Amino acid sequence: MTARNDPVSGTVGGPVSSLEFKLIDVPEMKYLSTDPNPRGEICLRGHPVFLGYYKDEVKTSECIDKDGFMHSGDVGELLPNGALKIIDRAKNIFKLAQGEYVAPEKVEQIYAKVAGVDSVFVHGDSLQYYCVGVITPSKDKLKDLAK
Protein backbone atom coordinates (compact mmCIF):
# COMPACT_ATOMS: atom_id res chain seq x y z
CA MET A 1 0.00 0.00 0.00
CA THR A 2 1.30 3.46 -0.84
CA ALA A 3 1.57 5.77 2.15
CA ARG A 4 0.39 9.39 1.83
CA ASN A 5 3.80 10.77 2.73
CA ASP A 6 5.82 8.34 0.57
CA PRO A 7 8.33 10.44 -1.40
CA VAL A 8 8.77 7.79 -4.13
CA SER A 9 6.20 7.78 -6.93
CA GLY A 10 5.55 5.09 -9.52
CA THR A 11 5.23 2.22 -7.03
CA VAL A 12 2.38 0.23 -5.55
CA GLY A 13 3.86 0.82 -2.09
CA GLY A 14 4.85 -1.74 0.50
CA PRO A 15 3.17 -4.76 2.06
CA VAL A 16 0.11 -4.58 4.33
CA SER A 17 -0.53 -6.73 7.39
CA SER A 18 -3.34 -8.78 5.81
CA LEU A 19 -1.35 -9.79 2.76
CA GLU A 20 1.77 -11.78 1.96
CA PHE A 21 3.66 -11.38 -1.28
CA LYS A 22 6.66 -12.97 -2.89
CA LEU A 23 8.55 -12.61 -6.14
CA ILE A 24 9.19 -15.78 -8.11
CA ASP A 25 11.75 -16.13 -10.87
CA VAL A 26 10.80 -15.66 -14.52
CA PRO A 27 14.05 -17.03 -16.01
CA GLU A 28 12.94 -16.82 -19.64
CA MET A 29 12.66 -13.03 -19.18
CA LYS A 30 15.82 -12.87 -17.01
CA TYR A 31 13.95 -11.72 -13.89
CA LEU A 32 15.41 -13.35 -10.78
CA SER A 33 14.34 -12.91 -7.17
CA THR A 34 17.94 -13.60 -6.11
CA ASP A 35 19.39 -10.57 -7.94
CA PRO A 36 20.70 -7.60 -5.91
CA ASN A 37 17.53 -5.78 -7.05
CA PRO A 38 15.02 -8.63 -6.63
CA ARG A 39 12.67 -8.99 -9.61
CA GLY A 40 10.06 -11.59 -10.44
CA GLU A 41 6.40 -12.41 -10.86
CA ILE A 42 4.32 -10.97 -8.04
CA CYS A 43 2.45 -13.64 -6.07
CA LEU A 44 -0.07 -12.74 -3.36
CA ARG A 45 -1.70 -14.63 -0.49
CA GLY A 46 -4.12 -13.48 2.20
CA HIS A 47 -7.70 -12.54 2.99
CA PRO A 48 -7.92 -9.73 0.38
CA VAL A 49 -7.01 -12.16 -2.44
CA PHE A 50 -9.82 -13.93 -4.28
CA LEU A 51 -10.33 -17.62 -3.55
CA GLY A 52 -10.69 -18.78 -7.14
CA TYR A 53 -13.07 -19.02 -10.04
CA TYR A 54 -16.62 -20.10 -9.23
CA LYS A 55 -17.03 -23.83 -10.00
CA ASP A 56 -13.94 -23.84 -12.23
CA GLU A 57 -11.08 -25.72 -10.59
CA VAL A 58 -9.00 -25.78 -13.78
CA LYS A 59 -8.86 -21.98 -14.13
CA THR A 60 -8.33 -21.64 -10.38
CA SER A 61 -5.36 -24.02 -10.43
CA GLU A 62 -3.85 -22.01 -13.32
CA CYS A 63 -3.52 -18.89 -11.18
CA ILE A 64 -3.43 -20.12 -7.55
CA ASP A 65 -0.60 -22.49 -6.65
CA LYS A 66 -0.61 -25.33 -4.11
CA ASP A 67 0.61 -22.97 -1.35
CA GLY A 68 -2.32 -20.61 -1.90
CA PHE A 69 -0.40 -17.85 -3.67
CA MET A 70 -2.20 -16.14 -6.55
CA HIS A 71 0.11 -15.54 -9.51
CA SER A 72 -0.70 -12.04 -10.75
CA GLY A 73 1.12 -12.16 -14.08
CA ASP A 74 2.78 -8.85 -13.19
CA VAL A 75 6.55 -8.63 -12.83
CA GLY A 76 7.67 -6.50 -9.92
CA GLU A 77 10.91 -5.09 -8.61
CA LEU A 78 11.49 -4.70 -4.88
CA LEU A 79 13.00 -1.28 -4.19
CA PRO A 80 15.48 -0.60 -1.37
CA ASN A 81 12.78 1.22 0.65
CA GLY A 82 10.57 -1.92 0.61
CA ALA A 83 8.15 -0.60 -2.02
CA LEU A 84 7.13 -2.73 -4.97
CA LYS A 85 7.27 -1.39 -8.52
CA ILE A 86 5.49 -3.12 -11.41
CA ILE A 87 7.90 -3.26 -14.36
CA ASP A 88 6.53 -5.84 -16.83
CA ARG A 89 3.99 -8.59 -17.53
CA ALA A 90 5.09 -12.23 -17.23
CA LYS A 91 2.13 -13.74 -19.01
CA ASN A 92 2.21 -11.53 -22.10
CA ILE A 93 5.11 -13.30 -23.75
CA PHE A 94 5.43 -15.76 -26.59
CA LYS A 95 8.16 -18.08 -27.78
CA LEU A 96 9.45 -18.14 -31.35
CA ALA A 97 10.50 -21.30 -33.18
CA GLN A 98 14.19 -20.85 -32.28
CA GLY A 99 13.28 -20.70 -28.57
CA GLU A 100 13.55 -16.91 -28.13
CA TYR A 101 10.98 -15.33 -25.81
CA VAL A 102 9.46 -12.02 -26.87
CA ALA A 103 7.54 -9.57 -24.69
CA PRO A 104 5.35 -7.83 -27.29
CA GLU A 105 4.38 -4.97 -24.97
CA LYS A 106 8.05 -3.97 -24.60
CA VAL A 107 8.57 -3.98 -28.37
CA GLU A 108 5.33 -2.04 -28.91
CA GLN A 109 6.38 0.59 -26.36
CA ILE A 110 9.70 1.14 -28.14
CA TYR A 111 8.13 1.58 -31.58
CA ALA A 112 5.33 3.75 -30.16
CA LYS A 113 7.96 6.36 -29.20
CA VAL A 114 8.92 6.90 -32.85
CA ALA A 115 7.63 10.19 -34.24
CA GLY A 116 4.81 9.57 -36.67
CA VAL A 117 3.61 6.30 -35.15
CA ASP A 118 0.01 6.26 -33.91
CA SER A 119 -0.32 2.65 -32.76
CA VAL A 120 1.64 -0.62 -32.83
CA PHE A 121 0.68 -4.30 -32.63
CA VAL A 122 3.25 -7.12 -32.39
CA HIS A 123 2.32 -10.75 -33.05
CA GLY A 124 4.35 -13.93 -32.89
CA ASP A 125 3.82 -17.57 -33.76
CA SER A 126 5.73 -20.41 -32.10
CA LEU A 127 6.13 -22.10 -35.51
CA GLN A 128 7.91 -19.07 -37.03
CA TYR A 129 11.37 -17.56 -36.49
CA TYR A 130 10.19 -13.95 -36.61
CA CYS A 131 7.57 -11.54 -35.27
CA VAL A 132 5.13 -9.48 -37.27
CA GLY A 133 4.48 -5.86 -36.45
CA VAL A 134 1.55 -3.78 -37.63
CA ILE A 135 2.15 -0.05 -37.33
CA THR A 136 -0.46 2.62 -37.91
CA PRO A 137 1.16 5.89 -38.94
CA SER A 138 -0.03 9.25 -37.68
CA LYS A 139 -2.23 10.88 -40.32
CA ASP A 140 -0.98 14.37 -39.41
CA LYS A 141 2.69 13.32 -39.58
CA LEU A 142 2.12 11.69 -43.00
CA LYS A 143 0.49 14.87 -44.31
CA ASP A 144 3.47 16.90 -43.09
CA LEU A 145 5.86 14.46 -44.75
CA ALA A 146 3.91 14.56 -48.03
CA LYS A 147 4.15 18.37 -48.14
* Shared domain check, 77 and 53: yes
Position 9 in a domain: no
99 and 85 belong to one structural domain: no
Q: Cβ distance 126 to 99 under 8 Å?
A: no
- 38 part of a folded domain: yes
Same domain, yes or no, for 56 and 80? yes
Residues 84, 102: one domain? no
> In this predicted model, what pLDDT tens digit does every residue of 72-82 receive, in sequence order?
988 999 988 88
* 32 and 80 in a common domain: yes
- Residues 80, 106: one domain? no
How many whole angstroms separate alpha carbon 1 and alpha carbon 123?
35
Provide the residue range defining the domain that includes 59. Answer: 19-89
Angle at 145 between CA 140 and CA 147, to 5 degrees: 100
32, 69: one domain:
yes
Q: What is the pLDDT of residue 10?
A: 76
Question: pLDDT for 10-34, tens place per residue?
Answer: 788 777 888 899 999 998 888 999 9
The structural domain count of the chain equals: 2
Burial 15-46 (b: 16+ CB within 10 A, else e): eeeeeebebbbbeebebbeeeeebbbbbbbbe
Q: What angle do CA 75, 35, 22 make, to 5 degrees?
A: 45
Same domain, 79 and 103: no
For residues 85 and 99, membership in a common domain is answered with: no
Tell me whether residue 141 is in a domain. Answer: yes
Q: For residues 83 and 54, state if they share a domain.
A: yes
Task: Say if residue 53 is in the same domain as residue 109.
Answer: no
Low-confidence ranges of the chain (pLDDT < 70): none
pLDDT at 9: 73
Could you tell me which residues come within 8 angstroms of residue 38 by beta carbon, excluding any fewer than 6 positions away?
23, 32, 77, 78
* pTM score, whole prediction: 0.66
Contact 102, 122 (CB under 8 A): yes
